Structure 1
Amino acid sequence: MSTLNTFQLSILSQNDFGAADGSNLICIVSEANGGTLQQGSFPLNAEILLPIPPAEGVTPLATPTWFLVPNGEIQDTSYTISISCPTDPSYPITNMTINASDVSKWASVLPFDQRPNQIYSNGVYGVFGFAQTGPDGLIYTVTAGVLNPQEYGN
């Protein structure tokens, strides 16, 4: 049995054509519970502009990522995050609490292509998450700026 040492969270914008404000979205990770953030993590409680897919020949921005090392069991860790658009006051804020216990369940679905996305917001304000298990533990990726996110694919 492998040891789950880290709960990794990454957040980015897909910036789909037709999605609202995909290039202006920010995230705030306000809490990382049940452990200690590892060196190399982005800061807590900071407005971080979400990277978008770069134009050809342009170096992409670093994807905001946090690495939470549990104090005890990884199942007892979580992140609290929000995604918003500071340039558009009508953009709805999407708040989420991502529990490692849920990510572990979602990541266990095999085969990989039958693993569902978790949809947090639909339509032009689409936000979804996808769970995986990596060599060092759990990995959860939140993608915003998605037009009509799907349960499978995207």
Structure 2
Amino acid sequence: MLKRTLWRAGAFVAPLLLSLGLVAAPPASAAEPGIDIPLTVATPDYACGEDWWEPLGRYYLKWQCDGNLVLYSSQDGSARWASGTYGWPNITNPTTKLNFSRYGYMSIRDHNGSIVCAWGGPESAGGYVRLQSDGNLVVYASNGNAVWASGTYGWRQGSVHACGTGM
């Protein structure tokens, strides 16, 4: 909770400092910063209502209580990417979880614990999910290779029904 609060505070301070010219923007060739969620056994499941903000505060990932996982732009409030799982049977139950698995998946699980939608794969086991400051949501393997991405970098619009086929 404290880490998320600190990210939120930085999300509002960094753009202000940048706009005032008190800090410089990173070079275009720099690795894209972001908030990382590890794909390990220690990562907890999340109940609906959780959100994750990237460091500059331009984008956030919201696990909504209607069963939808949505990547929003805080600049205009638009949904840049979504799982498309809102209102699915067995997903709007309060026991539905968003899981970041040690097996390499970011997944939505229904109230029975069954996976209904997943991103990533065995090759990303031990890796991490990163919400990048460029607006891209990416599943990385432990070696740093991207396994899956929302394709929403640089103001690009991703799919709003990304989980049409599940795994």
Q: Assess same fold via TM > 0.5.
A: no
Q: Which has the higher contact order (CA 8 A, sep 6+)?
A: 1
The two structures have a TM-score, normalised by structure 1, of: 0.29
The two structures have a TM-score, normalised by structure 2, of: 0.28
Task: Indicate the structure with greater strand content.
Answer: 1
